[in-house]
Amino acid sequence: MRFFKIFPVMMILLGVSQVKAQRFELKKPDNPAKCASIKEGRFVRVDYPAGIWNMTIKDNVQTEYFNNGKDYIKSSLVFLNDCSYKAIVIEKTAQNDRIKVGDVFSNIITKTQDNYLQIQTRIGNSQIELIYAKAKSK
């Protein structure tokens, strides 16, 4: 029953986030892109509050936290070059989403600017553009 309450809210947030992400653009991107910044740190999406989604990367392991940190998806990262990498799902807590252990996401960092990274992510025939902001180190 909880799923039926959360799912419509998540779909609305996803729709709103796509509109916001399309409005947010990197106006003065780095040339060349500074892709190495994805290899370690804490990241948030420009279109979601950090409580809804945030991500950490350390030692080629990416952990995406959502649902106020109650759930996560952990992936092993394989870098093909500085700006391309694959994320292979190795562990997850939420059972009601469509992502499964073993899924492979292909990612390309298309632009960077300051602490922002624009990433094109693809799984199967689906593709999405995301913008991450790297959180400042404490």
Residue range 72-111, pLDDT digits in tens:
999 999 999 999 999 999 999 988 778 999 999 999 999 9
- Going by CATH, does the domain composed of 2-134 fall within 1.10.3470? no
Q: How many residues are present in the chain? A: 138
Which value, in Å, is the radius of gyration of the alpha carbons in the chain? 15
Q: Are 134 and 37 in contact (CB under 8 A)?
A: yes
For residue 93, give the DSSP letter. S
- pLDDT at position 7 is 47
Give the pLDDT of residue 23.
62
20 by Cβ neighbours in 10 Å (0-12 / 13-18 / 19+) ranks as middle
Residue 128 has which token pair? 């999405």
| pTM reported for the whole predicted model | 0.79
Phi-psi region of 128 (alpha: psi -120 to 50; beta: other; left: phi over 0): beta
Mean pLDDT of 42-48: 92
132, 37 in Cβ contact below 8 A? Answer: no
Neighbours of 39 (CB within 10 A): 14
- Tokens describing residue 80: 């093909």
What is the largest distance, in Å, between two alpha-carbon atoms of the chain?
49
Residue 92, strand partner residues:
73
